[in-house]
A and B are shown apart, each in its own frame.
Chain A
Amino acid sequence: MPTDALTVEHLVIRLGGTEIVRDLSFAVPQGTSLAVIGPNGSGKTVLFRALVGALPYEGSVRWAVGARIGYVPQKLDLERDLPITGRDLLRARARLARASNADVDRALGRVDLGPDVLDQLVGTFSGGQFQRLLIAVALLGNPTVLLLDEPTAGVDEPGQERLYDTVRRLQAEEGVTALVISHELSVVSRYATNVLCLSRDHPCFGIPRKVLTPENLSQVYGTPVGVFVHDDDIRA
């Protein structure tokens, strides 16, 4: 029986006196993928930020012993002319992790980015390219868990597929546990082992086939939502 990479019990997160996440409990077995869905403002990013320790919370958040977290935040607001190149960012993370230049090249290869991005300013990356660069940055820390906050927001469809394929490959090859916030329900149904829906009144947790039902989703989103749940699920 696999051990859990993350166990969350009775989690409560308040921001400015408002309860954003209320009494949330779930577990993520090692090597699996959890998709976090929910309408805008339901607290998905707040949850991730609390999980990595960036926000205070009540309740219990337990990572597996020796867990190393790689966090890829939502699209960052970077100025186009910020004089930080892909190389500057990757080398900064590599030096902190005592990783070599060869490790940097390997991390780039694993996210399908060529060496040309090393000299490119980070503010000029396309959405999908930048997300893959951030995953490469995360990989330099040799993570056991990846947290991806809407990694495909603003990314075209082929880019989305490529990004999810990258994550799936990392899981298959290295047993990385993945937690992904996503609005793409059809992608979620294909890639996630479990789905956590955040909703003030109708939170739910379970395998995609059980959770991504029209009834559940219309309760979570407050409006009818259709999703095609694939038979040929590819899950970790």
Chain B
Amino acid sequence: MTTTFAPSALALSASMAVAAGLLGCFALMRRMSLAGDALSHVALPGIGLALLLGAPPLAGAVVALGAGAILIWVLERRTRVGVDAIVGVVFSGALAVGALLTTGEQLMDALFGAPGTLAGWEVGAGLLGAAAVVAFIIFARDRLVLMLISPDIALTAGIDVPRLDLMYLLAFALTVALGLRYLGALLMGSLVIIPAATARRVARDLTTMLTTSVAVSLVATLLGTWLAERLHRESGPLIISIAVACFLATTITPRRR
């Protein structure tokens, strides 16, 4: 077992922060902020079902998030309705079902995170998952740029747009799953979006946005974890508060250009 401030736990939270920082940039630029945030809610019914069946809650969350990502992808293609509308209908429902399936304390842990102690397999799986997300963003960066400028241009450049879209949604779901333990379903969506929003206010190009977002995400996560240890508070709310403070700091300085 590993505590939240052990080196392996710190490595896990840092890798989660890097994945969230990178992925969030494309979520923000693709105008998926709200959709991505709400996708994280779909973890709840998975956690609830896993607890009912005596399975690890994280496994239930991963399965539910993967299913949620595929559901968004299918509905978006079948109905031609915007992702935000689909999320509004389906994932608010998931939140309600999740709340019915979990008890009060479990619900709070699922919503806001409860780091506690980490098993060796959790650290290993988490590091692998984060590495997969980071590798995806790095290798798919050019294809994601063309897709966000125009899916039709991407198509004529030989990109399998529906497949890339699905891969992106699955990477999003995996990133949310990585942070469930620390931040919970509600706050993990925030760690994906807030560092990217902060970076967008100061960045002059894509590389600067990606690196700034990762930096903000890392600072918030590591500083929040350290402060939580010192102040004997939950780390999740502290991490998000620091990220929000970074965003607010960019609003009191003149914006670029």
Please determine whether chains A and B interact with each other in the same assembly. Answer: yes
Of B148, B156, B204, which contacts A71 at CB under 8 A? B156
CB distance from A159 to the nearest CB of B (A): 21
Q: Mark A112-137, 1 if CB is under 8 A from B, else 0.
A: 00000001011000000000001001
CB distance from B119 to the nearest CB of A (A): 39
Interface residues of A in 70-85 (CB under 8 A from B): 70-73, 76, 78, 81-85
Of A16, A70, A119, A122, which contacts B149 at CB under 8 A? A122
Given contacts A92-B145, A96-B146, contact A84 B153 (CB under 8 A): no
Contact B205 A71 (CB under 8 A): no
Chain A: CB-nearest residue to B212: A83
Of B29, B152, B206, which contacts A85 at CB under 8 A? B206
Chain B: CB-nearest residue to A141: B157
Q: Which residues of A contact B146 (CB under 8 A)?
A: 89, 92-93, 96
Contact A78 B204 (CB under 8 A): no
Of B142, B199, B257, which contacts A92 at CB under 8 A? B142
Question: Does any Cβ of B come within 8 Å of A13's Cβ?
Answer: no
Contact B155 A84 (CB under 8 A): no
Question: Does any Cβ of A come within 8 Å of B41's Cβ?
Answer: no
Q: Mark B69-107, 1 if CB is under 8 A from A, else 0.
A: 000000000001000000000000000000000000000
Chain A: CB-nearest residue to B141: A92
Question: Does any Cβ of B come within 8 Å of A95's Cβ?
Answer: yes
Question: Does any Cβ of B come within 8 Å of A106's Cβ?
Answer: no
Q: Which residues of B contact A195 (CB under 8 A)?
A: none
Of B151, B199, B206, which contacts A88 at CB under 8 A? B206
Q: Which residues of B contact A96 (CB under 8 A)?
A: 142-143, 146, 157-159
Q: Which of B145, B152, B155 has the most CB of A within 10 A?
A: B152
Question: Does any Cβ of A come within 8 Å of B194's Cβ?
Answer: no
Q: Which residues of A contact B207 (CB under 8 A)?
A: 88
Question: Does any Cβ of B come within 8 Å of A52's Cβ?
Answer: yes
Contact B156 A84 (CB under 8 A): no
Contact B205 A88 (CB under 8 A): yes
Question: Does any Cβ of B come within 8 Å of A49's Cβ?
Answer: yes
Q: Which residues of B contact A76 (CB under 8 A)?
A: 149-150
Q: How far is the CA of A137 from the CA of B145 in the complex (A)?
A: 12
CB distance from A199 to the nearest CB of B (A): 24
Chain A: CB-nearest residue to B150: A73
Q: Which of B80, B143, B145, B200 has the most CB of A within 10 A?
A: B145
Q: Which residues of B contact A72 (CB under 8 A)?
A: 153
Contact A83 B209 (CB under 8 A): yes
Q: Which residues of B contact A73 (CB under 8 A)?
A: 150, 152-153
Question: Does any Cβ of B come within 8 Å of A69's Cβ?
Answer: yes
Chain B: CB-nearest residue to A70: B156
Given contacts A81-B200, A122-B149, contact A52 B206 (CB under 8 A): no
Question: Does any Cβ of B come within 8 Å of A66's Cβ?
Answer: no
Q: How far is the CA of A85 from the CA of B155 in the complex (A)?
A: 21
Contact B142 A71 (CB under 8 A): no
Q: Which residues of B contact A95 (CB under 8 A)?
A: 142
Contact B156 A89 (CB under 8 A): no
Q: Which residues of B contact A92 (CB under 8 A)?
A: 141-143, 145-146
Q: Which residues of B contact A87 (CB under 8 A)?
A: 205
Chain B: CB-nearest residue to A140: B157
Contact A71 B153 (CB under 8 A): yes
Q: How far is the CA of A161 from the CA of B206 in the complex (A)?
A: 33
Question: Does any Cβ of A come within 8 Å of B203's Cβ?
Answer: yes
Q: How far is the CA of A143 from the CA of B158 in the complex (A)?
A: 12
Question: Does any Cβ of B come within 8 Å of A97's Cβ?
Answer: yes
Of A16, A52, A53, A82, which contacts B29 at CB under 8 A? A82
5 residue pairs of the A-B complex, CB under 8 angstroms, read: A84-B205, A89-B146, A93-B157, A96-B159, A141-B157
Binding site for A on B (CB under 8 A): 29, 80, 141-143, 145-146, 148-153, 155-159, 199-200, 203-209, 257
Binding site for B on A (CB under 8 A): 16, 49, 52-54, 69-73, 76, 78, 81-85, 87-89, 91-93, 95-97, 119, 121-122, 134, 137-138, 141, 147
> Which 8 residue pairs spanning A and B have beta carbons closest together?
A92-B142, A92-B145, A71-B156, A83-B203, A83-B209, A88-B206, A69-B156, A85-B205
User: What 6 additional pairs, Cβ within 8 angstroms, besides A93-B146, A134-B153?
Assistant: A54-B155, A83-B200, A83-B206, A88-B205, A95-B142, A121-B204
